[in-house]
Structure 1
Amino acid sequence: MINRVISTTLNEKISSGKAIILIGPRQVGKTTLIKSVLKDKDYLFLEGDDPTVRNILTNPNTKQLKSIIGDYKIVFIDEAQRIENIGITLKIITDQFKSVQLFVSGSSAFELNNQTNEPLTGRKWEYKLYPISWKELEDNIGYVKSTQQLELRLLYGMYPDVINNPGDEIEVLNQLVNSYLYKDILAFSGIRKPDVLEKLLKALALQLGNEVSYNELSRLIGVNKGTIESYIDLLFKSYVIYRLPSFSRNLRNEIKTNQKIYFYDTGVRNAIIGNFTPLNSRADTGAIWENFLISERLKKLSYSKLRNGQYFWRTKQQQEIDYVEEKSGKIFGYGFKWNPKAKIKIHKSFIETYDSQIKVINTDNFRELIGFTE
């Protein structure tokens, strides 16, 4: 098992008097991680996918919960979003059983958050788990082996099962996309036209690295703009896609409202369009590299508890910076290039307006951006 960065944080929060909640997409290792944290401890495991568990944890009273928990001091409820009114149940356990440490995992962030935000206010530590990060991979297999795998990771992504099954990556990814990717969205959102969802995902995958127009997507797919907006919101909340807004503060000609959409995992993106062609033979290598760096930077910021703003920058004259980050009021610009010899345009208006600099990130120096320095 690849050691996860966040495991230290979870260990530190045990016996804190609050529920520890771990959310994220399916198949990223939430259950495995929590079980590894609890490997030397005696705990009660309750599986939310089990109909019996769902039944007994739906609207139980304190007496019933006492019978369920018994003498256990640690309770782990897995796939908690499957249990109706789970937020109230978790609140009762946290309030009435002070000596019990509660662990909760949930794959559907939008459903779990809707149920737990209000009941567990002030009663929880909530963390997100993503596919394996580059730092986690390199810490596990070493600098040389991870560097040798860079192109494979851009093509096939960072899901644990993909990494652990070399040679079968495409089969694993196709199963992931077809069996798990849409499961929570279709189960909890009331979407009646999964074909529209699939068309939208393919359109977004093909537009990777470009600004997204909801009106254009509406015309392309044949549904109204409101449907596009709601579906994209669901895909975001279920950790399939990630939205990068435009950065604008001072210049009149800056693009102020547009956004770019990236995938949390490049392997999932490539599986959606069915393209695993080597990077030196495809036209979207730059976009894949850009997606990889932005998703890896997101993991770094999340695990480090850094709330830096993440943006892209463009003007109406097509001046563009791939990635902009705002940290404590300071602005940092980055240009992404797969080829270390490639140059970027230096936009003086951005540098002068924001007292910033623009750094080129390529295959030679990418480690400093995504996990090995602040």
Structure 2
Amino acid sequence: MRRHLEPTLVERLRSNAAVALIGPRQIGKTTMALDVADTWPEGAVYLDLERPADRRRLDDADSYLRAQAPRLVVLDEVHRMPDIFEILRGVIDDNRRSGVTSGQFLLLGSASLDLGRMSAESLAGRIAYLDLTGIAVDEAAAAGVGADDLWVRGGYPLSLAAATDELSLQWRSDLVRSYLERDVPMFAPRIPTETLRRLWTMLAHHSGRLLNASDLARALGVSGPTVDRYIDLLVDLGLVRRLPSWRANVAKRVTKAPKVLVRDSGLLHALLELVDLDAVLSHPAAGASYETFVMENLIDAAGPGFQAHHYRTASGVEVDLVLVRGGRPEVAIEVKRSRAPTPGAGLRRAMDDLGLDTAYLVHPDDGREAYRSSGVTVTGVS
């Protein structure tokens, strides 16, 4: 399945010495990197830094990496060798003086803050960043996969490609276990894995709701700041999103708390042990899960030029998603699981509060064409 981000990745490599491709484990970073490497005109070399043999090739990293120019060097799981970033800076600068100005290194990593911190200290002005998220609705549709299957199984390629719903759920459950037993000790060794599992499951039950760290802390027997620190880790790994409240330039008293979303609907369903569409639809979290699924697709489609927020006033006027660009709201989006939704007064009041004349009400595909009602476009998710 060809991903929309791949041409952008090639473009960034052609205009930058290094590019960091960041995304959750098993989301498809390596596959995309190898696809690019296979067709890179100057040739490419791939090193997986989790493999001892590949790490040994970097025992004298400076000499080895200099010898690869002008080939593209792909370094997978680059956080395994944090000392390499200083070496990369010297190699990049010397290669530039030799005429190799772009397409030198492609770095793959799972933890955005960790990789960003390590690279920013050494590679400022030399590196660009791209985030790879799960398979989107239109990418799945191009491969013949329906929106409901994508919603149930989530956007991880191997989950989506599993032969049965049961095998897909087992794969996702194993991935959750891998995160807890492998990634948590690596990136945050002091966080108890069982406590983090309980928190992650609670967030799955409450995905899309306002964050109340105090309630979560009481349930877990920890402090509010500790809950925030645990959520920080899940955010950094690309597993959870904090959706901040939009409250700038609004003459109303608005809720300040962020919402918290479990970003991949398939992992959300795995945490809740929901195996197929019937199980999902019969669960109390079905509506919130669908809203999260659609919102993540919309945020990804909007691109990095937009910032995502929610909006809620003290009087209860609320909209699921506000896309902001240049410090100004540009569009409000409401998501409904019902098949024949109609724009409500709350969405129109939110449009007035935010000074918007553009809004969308997104619902499951039902074969109808999109239509406009009182300034709101009602459309299926595809």
Deviation at 1:250, TM superposition (A): 2.1
Are the equivalent residues in 2 in contact too, given 1:313–1:321 (CA < 8 A)? yes
Tell which deviates more after alignment, 281-290 or 347-356: 347-356
Equivalences for residues 60-139 of structure 1 within 5 A: 60=60, 62-63=62-63, 65-66=65-66, 69-70=67-68, 73-98=71-96, 99=100, 101-139=104-142
Deviation at 1:15, TM superposition (A): 4.3
Deviation at 1:77, TM superposition (A): 1.1
Q: 1:151 corresponds to which letter in structure 2?
A: D
Q: Which residue of 2 aligns with 1:261?
A: 260
Deviation at 1:367, TM superposition (A): 11
Q: 2:84 corresponds to which letter in structure 1?
A: I
Matched residue count: 357
In 2 relative to 1, CA 85–353 (structure 1 residues): closer, same or farther, beyond 3 Å?
same
Q: Which residue of 2 aligns with 1:232?
A: 231
Deviation at 1:17, TM superposition (A): 4.8
Are the equivalent residues in 1 in contact too, given 2:184–2:193 (CA < 8 A)? no
Offset from partner CA, 1:51-74 (integer Å, 9 cap, x none) = 34435547x5744644xx356622
Say whether residues 1:9 and 2:8 are aligned partners: yes
Deviation at 1:318, TM superposition (A): 2.2
Are the equivalent residues in 1 in contact too, given 2:306–2:325 (CA < 8 A)? yes
Q: 1:91 corresponds to which letter in structure 2?
A: R
In 2 relative to 1, CA 345–367 (structure 1 residues): closer, same or farther, beyond 3 Å?
closer
Offset from partner CA, 1:199-225 (integer Å, 9 cap, x none) = 110111111221111111111110111
Matched position secondary structure for 2:209: coil
The separation in 1 between residues aligned to 2:13 and 2:352, in whole angstroms, is: 48
Offset from partner CA, 1:35-66 (integer Å, 9 cap, x none) = 111213432222110234435547x5744644
The separation in 1 between residues aligned to 2:131 and 2:269, in whole angstroms, is: 23
Q: Which residue of 2 aligns with 1:293?
A: 294
* Pairwise CA RMSD: 2.5
Q: Which residue of 2 aligns with 1:323?
A: 321
The separation in 2 between residues aligned to 1:96 and 1:369, in whole angstroms, is: 52
Tell which deviates more after alignment, 193-202 or 331-340: 331-340
The separation in 2 between residues aligned to 1:17 and 1:127, in whole angstroms, is: 12
Q: Percent identity?
A: 24
The separation in 2 between residues aligned to 1:356 and 1:152, in whole angstroms, is: 34
Q: 1:301 corresponds to which letter in structure 2?
A: A
Deviation at 1:332, TM superposition (A): 2.1
Offset from partner CA, 1:10-36 (integer Å, 9 cap, x none) = 222344351122111110111110111
Equivalences for residues 1-374 of structure 1 within 5 A: 2-41=1-40, 42-54=43-55, 57=58, 60=60, 62-63=62-63, 65-66=65-66, 69-70=67-68, 73-98=71-96, 99=100, 101-141=104-144, 146=145, 149-167=146-164, 168-180=167-179, 183-248=182-247, 249-255=249-255, 257-276=256-275, 278=278, 279-302=280-303, 305=304, 307-328=305-326, 329-347=328-346, 349-357=349-357, 358-364=359-365
Q: 2:239 corresponds to which letter in structure 1?
A: V
The separation in 1 between residues aligned to 2:263 and 2:82, in whole angstroms, is: 28
Output the TM-score relative to the length of structure 2. Answer: 0.85
The separation in 2 between residues aligned to 1:260 and 1:202, in whole angstroms, is: 16
Gaps of 5+ in 2: 371-376
In 2 relative to 1, CA 227–280 (structure 1 residues): closer, same or farther, beyond 3 Å?
closer
More relative contact order in 1 or in 2 (CA 8 Å, sep 6+)?
A: 1
In 2 relative to 1, CA 368–361 (structure 1 residues): closer, same or farther, beyond 3 Å?
closer
The separation in 2 between residues aligned to 1:233 and 1:227, in whole angstroms, is: 10
Tell which deviates more after alignment, 240-249 or 279-288: 279-288
Are the equivalent residues in 1 in contact too, given 2:318–2:350 (CA < 8 A)? no
Are the equivalent residues in 1 in contact too, given 2:319–2:350 (CA < 8 A)? no
Tell which deviates more after alignment, 75-84 or 243-252: 243-252
Offset from partner CA, 1:214-249 (integer Å, 9 cap, x none) = 111111110111111111111101101011111223
Q: 1:44 corresponds to which letter in structure 2?
A: V
Are the equivalent residues in 2 in contact too, given 1:106–1:112 (CA < 8 A)? yes
